[in-house]
Amino acid sequence: MPNYATINGAPRSGRASRWLRFASPQAFFPVAGGLAPLSLAAAFALTLLGLYIGLLVAPVDAQQGDAYRIIFVHVPAAWLSMVIYVAMAFWAGVGLVFNTRLSAMMASALAPSGALFTFLALWTGALWGKPTWGAWWVWDARLTSELLLLFLYIGFIALQAAIDDPRRADRAGAVLALVGVVNVPVIYFSVQWWNTLHQGASVSLRSAPSMATPMLLGMLVMALAMWAYAIGATLIRLRCIVLERERHADWVQRYAEGQP
């Protein structure tokens, strides 16, 4: 006979109940503490490897020269800016629908990392655009929608900070995040939908990459490095949010006093 447990009045399998217990801030707190330093260590190592490949191994581009090397930061940052927003909206939506505290906290923890990578994508894009297009900024469809993404991140953070009640702040932020997620496919498909100055994707799941293997390898390694950093930074931020919101719980009092 399978092992069943009852959660909220509904039967769950033993395996499901073991996973669901990590939805509790108390249960996930030590997990986040263990994963965060590992993620940051991986981010450091992968960044060194990615920069070595991108700056020293990858060949010079025939058209853009060495100026193209900004893609080893710009492209992964742009990817992360969109993926983190979708993840933020997902967790905010889960918290809104199921009223789970940890989901809403995860959305709040993701937002600053997403804003950081969005700003990094815009800034490095400007550095790339000046020698390539002759201008720091143009009101291109992709650039404009990416700028809107930064405003959505800032708006999410500011809205939550402006509301004193955490529950109300989580609900308001979730609505904004879910509405703003429409902007993500606009960013991704803008170069296909409109006649934009921004070049098309060099890496696609539907076709072979249009760049040399060392270039592609360096960009993918840097993407993994940024993923690892985002995970580590988000988990550290999540632990801080948990301690702040659960500060009246007995287990937080014991943690603050150094008790197991």
pLDDT tens column, 10-25 = 444 556 566 667 778 9
Quick: pLDDT tens for 148-181.
999 999 999 999 999 999 999 999 999 999 999 9
Give the pLDDT mean for 137-150: 89
Q: Provide the pLDDT confidence category of residue 133 given band limits of 50, 70 and 90.
A: confident
In the predicted structure, residue 37 carries a pLDDT above the cut 70: yes
Q: Provide the pLDDT confidence category of residue 188 given band limits of 50, 70 and 90.
A: confident
Mean residue pLDDT of the chain comes to 86
Give the pLDDT mean for 96-121: 96
CA–CA gap between residue 156 and residue 241 (Å, rounded): 16
| The pair of three-digit structure tokens given for residue 198, joined into one six-digit string | 């921004």
- Model pLDDT, residue 2: 41
In the chain, the N- to C-terminal Cα span, in Å, equals 36
Phi-psi region of 252 (alpha: psi -120 to 50; beta: other; left: phi over 0): alpha
- Residue 144 C-alpha from the chain's centroid: 20
CA–CA gap between residue 175 and residue 183 (Å, rounded): 14
- Residue 109 C-alpha from the chain's centroid: 10
180 close to 115: Cβ distance less than 8 angstroms:
no
258 φ, ψ (degrees, to nearest 5): 80, 20
Give the pLDDT mean for 234-243: 97
Q: pTM for this one?
A: 0.87
- Model pLDDT, residue 10: 42
Q: Please, is 111 exposed, middle or buried when counting C-beta atoms within 10 Å of its C-beta (0-12, 13-18, 19+)?
A: buried
- Model pLDDT, residue 209: 60
- Model pLDDT, residue 194: 58
Quick: pLDDT tens for 49-78.
999 999 999 988 877 777 788 999 999 999
Give the pLDDT mean for 198-221: 71
The alpha carbon dihedral of 244, 17, 235, 147 has a sign of: negative
25 close to 242: Cβ distance less than 8 angstroms:
yes
